[in-house]
Structure 1
Amino acid sequence: MSVQIDVVIPSFRLEEHYLLPILSLKTPADTQIRFFLVADNPAVVLSPVIRQLVDDQRVFLSINPQNMGAARTRNKAMEMGSGEWILFLDDDITVPVNLLEIYAEAIRRFPDEIGFIGLVNMPPPVKSFSHAIVASGSMDIFKIAKDRKAFAWGATANMMISRRAMGDVRFSEIFPKAGGGEDVDFFMNMRERNGYKDFKSLPEAAVEHPWWNNEASNFKRPFRYGIGNSLLPQRNPRYAYHDFPNTIETVFLALLAGIVAAFVKPSLLPAIGLFIAGAAVIEVIAGAVQSAKRKAKPSAEVYFYLLLLRLIQEAGMFWGNVSRFRFQGITERFNYNGSFRKTHFYRTNTYKLVKWVLYPLLVIWIWRCYTSA
């Protein structure tokens, strides 16, 4: 059985030490491999070695006339090829020499799958910010191939799909240009097109992904992801549900109540101020308890970063909805596991349980303070 694989690599940096091993991967027997490298940076300076590999037969290169963003660049790269299978790879991963052989063998063994989720390993964290990212769970999708036999979506850092199963599904360009949510949306729509069949996990197809910027703290990414995530329930309402307000939404609603109180009953303003301060304290306590349960590194700095990561992503979700005047998106959540369960407020975890206990106590205390004044 002959196999055709188009390897899609969107890139901004085109760093030689990452791309050369990928572009030099050995072609498995009875397999046609073509690499489609799309530079989303019109000012990029191509290294002579990479330029020499571009032959428009096995390796193809296209340079965008302007920065088009992750979604549009991936779509362009996919349209450049016609192979039966498409392998998404990031431009900053380290690949094993037999990666294509593993994927080709999986295709031959499971030709009816809609795609395969590869494994993305990251080095053990050293700095507090990276420890916080691991403990937050935001990178769990990288290792989903090791934890689940199949799943609704995967990371485009290392994932293969069937072009036949993809059909006319493409990455939506309404998501943040630098990425955030467009991958979830793409794979969920592709899954729906194929009778909601999950993608098969292929943990043996493992790559190594470095920490970004030498583990330097960066809060633009979680804010951007939050904006992207705010679009997912709107575009995919079948997976949407409502939950209790998160901390950012709670403070916003309290501030609205404060504005109303300022005109209707100013005597309530101190109580509302106490509630906002108490909500901040509860967030710190609940986050610390959850961090300990997730076995985060016991460090005040790690807990602080965890708190910031959560609040900044929540702020991104909030801003994403408010900036589109989609106020019904406040308290709206998304089932990332692809389930359709619509029962509201059903998800419980340690973080929520702590808040459910402390918020009523806070309200009772404020009420007593208010009535006894």
Structure 2
Amino acid sequence: MTASIDVIIPSFRPDERYLLPVLRLKRPAGTDIRFYLVIDDPGAAVPDSIRGLVDNQTVFLLINDKNLGAAGARNRGIAASSGEWLLLLDDDVLPDEVLLEAYAHAIKTFSTATGFIGLVRFPEACSRFCEAVLASGSMDIFSIAERRPTFAWAATANVMVRRRTMGEIRFSSAFPASGGGEDVDFFLNLMTRNKGQRLYCVPGAAVEHPWWNNGRPGYKRPFRYGIGNSLLGTLHPQFTYYDFLNTPETLLLLCLLLPVPGWTVSVLVLMGGVLCIELIANAVQVLKRYPGSSAAAVYYTALLRLAQDTGVLWGKLRRGQFFRIGERFHDDGRIQKINFYHSNTYRTVKWLLYPVLAIAVAMCRTPS
């Protein structure tokens, strides 16, 4: 039986360095392959080399009248396509030559699957900031295909979905237009619709993704992802639980105490101590996971965590959801309502040092 695969590639800035290798991928025997390139900027210049491949039979070019964002561009590709299998790729990945063959083999092997997670590799860390991104764990979802047989969701850089398992599920426009949280939301909806069935991991279906911003430090992306992720608890309350306050939440609480007469200096000292403890806890965790990491990588790791956690907090505050402060989310699809239970090196260090900080400040306030 012929496997029908439609490859959907949303693109804001079409770059032939990445798109041509995708559009020219080897098409395995016994498959019907079509490519849908969705240009999400009506003013973008589409290279002639790409236009030359468009035949409206196997390669289609869709240009949006206005910017629809990551979710809207994918949805337009889904609507225009008709294949039983939808392969979602980012527009800045370089695929292995056997990418389609690996997915075709997975389709034959797992005939009842809702979808498949491919592997997204990154080059060797080219800066201390790249080391920090790896050490922070924020990139773990990209390599999940190497570490798990199945998982609840995947990065849309490289993932395949069976059309009929989706029903009316589409990527939500409620999330930031440039991305963040909509992938988790989509695949958790897919998992719920299909009675808990998860995506199969296919490490042989691999692409390489470049470092963002050429490896230079940047915090807008994790902050934006945090804002998007702050919506997940509202949309999927079954996966939420409450936990001790993280650093941005703790600092917000301390800010509320600043106006209290006689407390200003103590609160400022506490805030400085909380930030120092955040740095120490990150250092212990990073050095445990990646012995020999540089001081710069530890520093960047702390900033990355703070940027994402602050984005989550800001998203909740902006919607007036103060009751969600302290709420956490099982993005792995677990439904477990036991609160304040999770422990790891980072948390253990923080909650050992917090009492020490509080006692030190209290002793300083006590008259001799």
TM-score by length of 2: 0.97
Distance 1:216 1:177 in 2: 23
Match of 2:364 in 1: 369
Distance between the aligned counterparts of 2:25 and 2:144, measured in 1?
Answer: 25
User: What is the aligned length?
Assistant: 368
Q: How does 1:1-373 map to 2 (within 5 A)?
A: 1-259=1-259, 261=260, 266-295=261-290, 297-372=292-367
Rounded to whole Å, the distance in 2 between the matches of 1:274 and 1:96 is: 53
Q: For 1:225 and 1:92, locate their aligned partners in 2 and report how far apart those are by CA, in whole Å.
A: 19
CA distance in 2, matches of 1:26, 1:289: 46
Q: CA deviation at 1:89?
A: 0.8
Preserved CA contact (<8 Å) 1:230 1:329 = no
User: For 1:126, what is the secondary structure of its paired residue?
Assistant: coil
Give the superposition deviation at 1:298. Answer: 2.6
Secondary structure of 2:52's counterpart equals helix
Q: Which moves more between the two structures, 215-224 or 141-150?
A: 215-224
For the 8 Å contact 1:131–1:296, the answer to whether it is kept is no
Identity %: 51
Aligned-pair CA distance for 1:296: 5.9
Structure 2 letter corresponding to 1:196? G
Check conservation: 1:132, 1:296, Cα contact below 8 A: no
Q: Distance in 1 between matches of 2:208 and 2:359?
A: 51
Amino acid at match of 1:99: L
Which sections of structure 2, spanning at least 5 residues, go unmatched? Answer: none
Name the amino acid aligned to 1:290.
Q
SS of 2:65's partner is: coil
Q: Secondary structure at the match of 1:44?
A: coil
Amino acid paired to 2:263:
L
In the alignment, the residues of structure 1 paired with residue 293 and residue 105 of structure 2 have an alpha-carbon distance, to the nearest angstrom, of 43
Secondary structure of the residue aligned to 1:267 is coil
Q: Secondary structure at the match of 1:167?
A: coil
Residue 297 (structure 1) shift: 5.0
> 1:140-191 CA deviation, whole Å, 9 max, x = no partner?
0111011000000111111101101111111110111110110011001101
Shift of 1:359: 0.6
2:339, 2:118 → 1: CA distance? 33
State the alpha-carbon separation in 1 of the partners of residues 292 and 225 from structure 2.
Answer: 24
- What TM-score comes out, normalization by structure 1 length? 0.96
Task: Quote the RMSD (CA, aligned, Å).
Answer: 1.2
SS where residue 217 of structure 2 aligns?
coil
Question: Which is worse superposed, 212-221 or 134-143?
Answer: 212-221
Cα deviation for residue 247 of structure 1 reads 0.7
CA distance in 2, matches of 1:363, 1:58: 65
Contact 2:257 2:263 in 1 (8 A): no
**Partner secondary structure for residue 227 of structure 1:** helix
CA distance in 1, matches of 2:293, 2:170: 43
- Go from structure 1 to structure 2 and tell me whether the alpha carbon gap of 1:321 and 1:195 turns closer, same or farther (over 3 Å shift): same
